[in-house]
Amino acid sequence: MVNSSAARLDSIFHALSDPTRRAILHDIATREKTVSEIARPYPVSLAAVSKHIKVLETADLIARERRGSFQIVRLKAETLKPAEQWLAYYEKFWSQRLDALQTLLEGEKHE
């Protein structure tokens, strides 16, 4: 059985697995936007962008609210914290390799 924190991570990583969804998150990181503003740069239908937004919303990475006739979307960056913590555990592995590479390269410079 999958516990709720594992299911949440699965949902976050599933949402982040698509480059369009990652681009949408990046795009709204600086300011909230309407769905139409989000869709504008993508060569897909508004319906396709809405599906991407729904996946992000299901993962709790964004919040969507209605203001008049507009749907406003904003980033919920705090939701990324569990993913950041999960990745931080593995950082030591790539950091050790990068440190070893740096030592090797510095040794070659002194030869």
The alpha-helical segments, DSSP class H, found in 1-111 are: 4-16, 19-28, 35-39, 46-58, 81-109
Average pLDDT, the chain: 90
- Domains of the chain by residue range: 4-109
pLDDT of residue 63: 97
Q: CATH number of 4-109: 3.90.1150.10, 1.10.10.10, 3.40.50.2000, 3.40.50.10420?
A: 1.10.10.10
Per the confidence metrics, is the pTM higher than 0.95? no
What are the pLDDT digits (tens) for 53-67? 999 999 999 999 999
Q: pLDDT per residue over 30-48, tens digit each?
A: 999 999 999 999 999 999 9
Q: What is the DSSP letter of 59?
A: T
